[in-house]
């Protein structure tokens, strides 16, 4: 019943090379999980390159690990051909049995399930085969049910979750033909690096957009991504009825990246109930479209009483979706720093007491890093920017801190504190 579909999904069985694009940095990191028994879950926003990473892993298995082609099964569960079968996980078992009968692979098999959220109760099939052994699973998905905490519940600790993001700035440069593996490479090509960085701030890192030569077509692609995530993922999945409400809230948040808000203040401004605002924002987070950052407090209950801030999954969305945002260059810088921290799996907060500090990075139970972002450190803002950073450094007992700018670079010592002032693009290349 599924033979033709399975064959079309797996050209490597016919020795047809898999088109897997530019090698992603995360693919190299994932190689260490090849021998682990756990299910590997690749999660992230739509079109960020999860399927590409999965195919790069397949290529690694074929060429480096010398796994036989017939021992690797790839299935795109978003395929329209599976639409009428997706409500019954037993159909996944049928597909797998047809695969076994057709190819009769000997030994361990590697099964890749792409965009698993399109198949109801897919975990029933995965858990069943996992328990029998002899199968290594890789699954990809575009909603946060696949994040580590929920995966642990769904698959009872049988999984390892890895977040996949759009291209990092380093990857963008590599795609553009500029290798900056060494500091000297970046220094020798600084003018080019800065030019690409200014473009990256506005267009973001989605692979298809980065590879598109036409700026206008790139904007159109980003607009379509945004619409697809909102109208094809969020609205039907969460059964949103009041379209104008959720559209207005999303527009407001994209237009006010990194700005304080409370659910109550947003509700009053947009004429929406505050509990509905909170619910909608959770939908955006679950689809990896926007991420909320809290003021750091030792008590989680206290934390809830402070304003929140939101950041975009990609700078390109800010450029094409937001209203009257294009002149605020500092916000583009700030969002790019957030994206880099998020891609590294950091737990991120902001600081506010007498002054403010844009980002605090938490590891286990400790704040380990404080970062301030501003277009330029000048006489007009020095007291505020330095004050916020120093206040955070003092409170969390940090000896060093960062002020990230458009192009300034120096080091300052204030008392026993060392402050690194670094261009954002240079900091991104060192992450």
The predicted-structure confidence for 239-261, as pLDDT tens digits, reads as follows 999 999 999 999 999 999 999 99
Greater confidence (431 vs 128) lies with 128
Q: What would the pLDDT profile of 257-274 be if each residue is shown by its tens digit?
A: 999 999 999 999 999 999
The rounded distance, in Å, linking the Cα atoms of 131 and 152 is: 15
CB–CB of 370/359 below 8 Å? yes
What is the helix (H) or strand (E) element at residue 405, kind and residue range? strand 400-405
Greater confidence (298 vs 178) lies with 178
β-pairing verdict for 135-141 and 39-43:
parallel
The rounded distance, in Å, linking the Cα atoms of 175 and 22 is: 7
Rounded average pLDDT over 50-74: 97
β-pairing verdict for 366-373 and 39-43:
unpaired
In the chain, pLDDT over 90 holds for what percent of residues? 85
Average pLDDT, the chain: 93
- The answer to whether residue 146 scores a pLDDT higher than 90 is no
- The answer to whether residue 283 scores a pLDDT higher than 80 is yes
The rounded distance, in Å, linking the Cα atoms of 368 and 219 is: 37
The reported pTM is 0.94
- The answer to whether residue 147 scores a pLDDT higher than 70 is no
**Residue 1's pLDDT band (cuts 50, 70, 90):** confident
Strand, coil or helix: 95: helix
**Residue 145's pLDDT band (cuts 50, 70, 90):** low
pLDDT for 227 equals: 96
Q: What is the largest CA-CA distance in the chain?
A: 73
Q: How many residues does the chain have?
A: 431
For each of the domains in the chain, give its residue range(s) and CATH number, in order of start. Answer: 3-163 (3.40.50.300), 170-430 (no CATH)
Locus of tokens 């020095």: 382
The rounded distance, in Å, linking the Cα atoms of 236 and 217 is: 27
Rounded average pLDDT over 284-305: 92
Q: What would the pLDDT profile of 157-182 be if each residue is shown by its tens digit?
A: 788 889 999 999 999 999 999 989 88
The rounded distance, in Å, linking the Cα atoms of 425 and 51 is: 28
The rounded distance, in Å, linking the Cα atoms of 114 and 404 is: 38
- H helices present in 42-147, as ranges: 50-63, 90-103, 122-132
pLDDT for 301 equals: 82
The rounded distance, in Å, linking the Cα atoms of 116 and 232 is: 16
pLDDT for 323 equals: 74
Cα dihedral 36, 113, 25, 152 in deg (nearest 10): -50
- The answer to whether residue 431 scores a pLDDT higher than 90 is no
The packing angle between helices 215-228 and 190-203, to 10°, is 40
């Amino acid at each position: 019943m599924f033979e033709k579909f399975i064959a079309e999904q797996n050209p490597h069985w016919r020795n047809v090379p898999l088109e897997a694009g530019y090698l992603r940095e995360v693919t190299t990191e994932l190689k260490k999980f090849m021998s682990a028994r756990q299910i590997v879950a690749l999660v992230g926003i739509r079109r960020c390159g999860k399927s590409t990473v999965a195919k790069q892993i397949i290529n690694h298995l074929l060429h480096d690990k010398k796994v036989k082609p017939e021992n690797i099964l790839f299935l795109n569960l978003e395929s329209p051909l599976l639409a009428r079968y997706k409500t019954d996980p037993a159909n996944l078992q049928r597909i797998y049995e047809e695969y076994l009968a057709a190819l009769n692979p000997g030994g361990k098999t590697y099964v890749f399930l792409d965009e698993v959220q399109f198949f109801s109760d897919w975990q029933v099939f995965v858990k069943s085969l996992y328990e029998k052994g002899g199968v290594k699973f890789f699954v990809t998905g575009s909603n946060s049910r696949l994040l580590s905490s929920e995966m642990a519940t769904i698959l009872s600790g049988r999984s390892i979750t890895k977040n996949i993001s759009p291209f990092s700035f380093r990857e963008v440069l590599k795609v553009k033909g500029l290798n900056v593996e060494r500091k000297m490479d970046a220094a020798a090509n600084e003018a080019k690096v800065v030019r690409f960085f200014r473009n990256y701030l506005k267009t973001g890192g989605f692979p298809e957009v980065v590879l598109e030569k036409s700026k206008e077509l790139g904007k159109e692609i980003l607009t379509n991504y945004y619409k697809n995530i909102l109208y094809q993922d969020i609205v039907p999945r969460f059964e949103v009825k009041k379209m104008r409400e959720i559209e207005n809230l999303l527009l407001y948040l994209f237009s006010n990246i990194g700005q304080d808000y409370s659910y109550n203040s947003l509700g009053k401004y947009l004429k929406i109930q505050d509990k509905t605002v909170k619910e909608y924002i959770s939908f955006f987070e679950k689809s990896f479209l926007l991420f909320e950052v809290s003021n750091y407090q030792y008590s989680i209950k206290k934390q809830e009483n402070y304003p929140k801030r939101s950041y975009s999954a990609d700078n390109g969305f800010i450029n094409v979706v937001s209203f009257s945002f294009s002149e605020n260059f500092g916000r583009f810088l700030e969002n790019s720093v957030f994206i880099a921290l998020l891609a590294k799996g950091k737990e991120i907060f902001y600081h506010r007491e007498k002054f403010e500090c844009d980002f605090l990075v938490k590891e286990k139970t400790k704040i380990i890093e404080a970062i301030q972002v501003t277009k330029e450190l000048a006489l007009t803002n020095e007291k505020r920017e330095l004050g916020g950073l120093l206040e955070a450094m003092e409170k969390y007992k940090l000896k060093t801190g960062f002020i990230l700018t458009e192009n300034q670079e120096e080091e300052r010592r204030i008392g026993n504190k060392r402050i690194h002032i670094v261009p954002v693009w240079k900091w991104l290349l060192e992450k």
